[in-house]
Every structure is written in structure tokens, then in C-alpha cells.
Amino acid sequence: MKNKKGVIGTQATVFWFLFLVFILVVGLAAGTYIFFGSQYDYRQIDADLINSHIKECLTENNISLNNETFKQEFYSTCRLHQDVVEKNFFVLVELDGKRLYEAGKGDRTQCALSDKNEEYPKCQNTTIIKEGKTIFIETGSNQKSRTRLE
Amino acid sequence: MSEEEDNPLMDNLMFILVLVIAIVIVLAFVWSQMNGAARWSDFYVKQVATSLELSEPGDKIEIDVHQATKIANRNQQLDFQKIFSFNETENEICVALAPETKTCYNYFNDIKVSSHVIISGSFKDTGKNTLALEISSKTPEVK
């Protein structure tokens, strides 16, 4: 009989080798899945766009800054879809520091803390002066894409 | 000891083979994730929604959707005109790059997509497929 000593030879390392390959495959697969599995975050872009849209609308149109009629004029003149705004966005309009209109999910506290909590909406705010009055506009978006079966 | 038993390449052939198979599996997984319908549906639905949010009645928009058509083709979604759909009532756009599944997103701008069509090989003379949109007002314009 030949080679009595060290019969196992290099095959003894097979378990370590398979273990290392397993770690490599699982690690790379998990990293790839985490990177590509999450959605593109368009919430800040959405918040910026709706803010700019409202700012432009309030500046260029003569919307009555009156608590009772503002809501109706706001949606029709600014060409905003009310259901979409109330479901996916946050809109706050203040006139000289007093709330003129507020809609949607969220509030100013959530906007202020959006960097700390991923579940809070991403927000944007702007201030315009019209006819001597200060209009503060804060908008936010927490919309994510939805996958459905047809 | 025979010459065959001393050959280190033969000793390690199985290790090399297993390693190559593992690397191929990982690369295939990364490639499938990069080119998956879910990832690109999410990208296109948000891209088109952003374009609609910036649009006004009367605008005509052209968007390069070549990658979307390539993925739809690979997933047997052969009717390209069904890739993008618009729900006027809910202001919703949906993208379907694979059969029986679609990704949807709402846009706040209350406009109407009066026409949407995918034109083959027309994007800025690059030969890429284009999504052409025509935007109009939901309410008739008062003259």
C-alpha cells in the first residue's frame, strides 16, 4: 500500500473552502438585493415640484386669500388633483403666520424630522410676499410606487 | 508515487470548478437584479410621472423608453402599447414590463394625457424607442 501517511491530503480543506464560497455568494447576493431591491426615492423631487407648482400658481393668479373660498379656488385654479394631494402629499399654506389651508398626510413636525425617520415625508418650504402679505407654503411627499397584479 | 498523484492542478480541479460555478451564479443574480422588470418599472413610472407634473396643457413630451421596451420584450410583453397606461380619473400612471404585474404612481398635476404612443426608433435620431405624450386640459378651455 502506498502513501499511508497523510491520506486525507488537500481534501481536508474542502469544508473550509465550501464555507468561504457560501459566505461569498450569500454576502454578494444579499448586498445586491438590498441595493437594487429598494425603490428610487423620488419623494424629495415630488415635494419640490408641488411646492414650485403652488408657489407659481399663487404668485400668478388672483386667488382669494379667504378661509372659506380658498380651498375650492386653490384646486381648480392651480390645477391640482385633490384626491392625489390628500392621499400622497402634504400641503400647508399659511397667511401672515396663520393657517389658511392644510391637506394631506403629515405635519410640520414630521417634515422637520424627515432626516431622522425614513417613514416621514420629504418636504420643501418657501415664502412669498403678495400684496404686502406673507404666504408660507410647506409641501411634502411620502408617495411610493405600488406593484399590482393585473 | 505516480505522476498523476503529484499534479497539483488535478488536486485542486474540483475547488476551481466549484468557485467558477459560484462566481457565475453570483454574476447571473447581479445581472438579473440590474435588468429586472421591477427595478425598471419603478424607474420609468416615476420618470414619466415627474414629466407629467412639470407639463401644461398643450405640451408634447417625448421620453426615451428603449430600455423599457427591451425588458418588456424579454418578458414576453410583446404589445409595447400596453406598457404604459394612464388612469385619468385617479391621475395614475402604470408601467407593465412583465405580464400580469404593473407598477403604479400618482401625479398631482390635474392634466389629461390625451394621447400616448410608443414610436419605434424615433428618439432624437438615435434609433431608440420613444414614448410620445400629448397633454391637454381636463376641462374644456374657455375662449
How many angstroms separate the CA of residue B66 from the nearest CA in chain A?
19
Compute the nearest-CA separation of A82 from chain B (Å).
8
pLDDT digits (tens, 9 = 90+) for A86-105: 999 999 999 998 999 999 98
- Kindly list the residues from chain B whose CB atom is less than 8 angstroms away from the CB atom of residue A45: 50
Nearest residue, CB atoms, B11 vs list A2, A10, A148: A10
Over residues B118-143, the mean pLDDT reads: 80
Return the HEC string of chain B.
Answer: CCCCCCCHHHHHHHHHHHHHHHHHHHHHHHHHHHCCHHHHHHHHHHHHHHHHHCCCCCCEEEEECHHHHHHHHHCCCCCHHHCEEEECCCCEEEEEEECCEEEEEECCECEEEEEEEEEEEEECCCCEEEEEEEEEECCCCCC
- The CA distance from A50 to A115, in Å, is 20
- Tell which residue, A53, A123, A117, has the closest CA to residue B107: A53
Locate A131 and state its grid cell: 400684496
Q: Select the residue of A10, A18, A146 nearest B12 (Cβ to Cβ).
A: A10
Residue A67 pLDDT greater than 90, yes or no: no
DSSP 8-state code for residue A114? T
Cross-chain Cβ contact B36/A29 below 8 Å: no
pTM confidence score: 0.81
Listed range (A47-56, B77-86, B102-111) with the worst mean pLDDT: B77-86
ipTM score assigned to the predicted complex: 0.80
Q: Which cell numbers hold the place of B6?
A: 503529484
Please tell me the predicted confidence (pLDDT) of residue B140.
Answer: 67
Kindly report the backbone phi and psi dihedral angles of residue A128, in degrees, each rounded to the nearest multiple of 5, phi listed first: -125, 155
B66 vs B55: CA distance, rounded Å:
22
Report whether pLDDT(B91) > 80.
yes
- Which pLDDT score, from 0 to 100, does residue B123 have? 64
